[in-house]
Structure 1
């Protein structure tokens, strides 16, 4: 059962990455474009106020911090759940994608998460984050 939950979380991370990049990412097995369209329809309206956006971003980073704490204590499954919640709350949270990618390592999902982090850092003009993500990808034999 826990393996199924873990795989579902990875699939959802993949779907969230695909929607964050405009659907240009490779989808996880079993994920259709209909799933992405359904997620697109549930996006928050573009006219949200800045306080709501800041609040979502802050809560997302709180999930990342909880995930890092869980990972440090040896609970990788809980850490991945926190990273998933962070990405679900703020799909532009490059730090969450980076943390998930680092946790998942040399798997397809880990590399996809790190590629998402690199892309998001690049879009946000965060040179340090971009360099960290691309060097991780190079160390793991993956290109950007």
Structure 2
């Protein structure tokens, strides 16, 4: 009986040693998982910050593109207005002798009926452009 008791004692020690070994391996695995989670968290935060910077940059680019498009549209309108005034002046200069340029002028916007008229001399660019500008402003 004493030998059976000793054998049980040895068996119990072996089981306890196995439990300790398994526990230590489990502890090691848990610490490796925790380190992996920390690393993943740091990388996720870094990517979130990069994404936020990218979004801010995209908003700035969008604003710049809109400003450029608005400036191009204004430039196109001004170029059109200038070409209309030049065309009107050229037509008048060919039709009428100098000093007799008192007919009504009309803005020649393609496909429109711009009501721009001028009873004065064509040399007064502001007087010709003002009605064109008013008409164009109604379309903006």
Which interval holds the TM-score relative to the shorter structure?
Answer: under 0.3
TM-score (norm 2): 0.25
TM-score (norm 1): 0.25
Q: Greater CA radius of gyration, 1 or 2?
A: 2
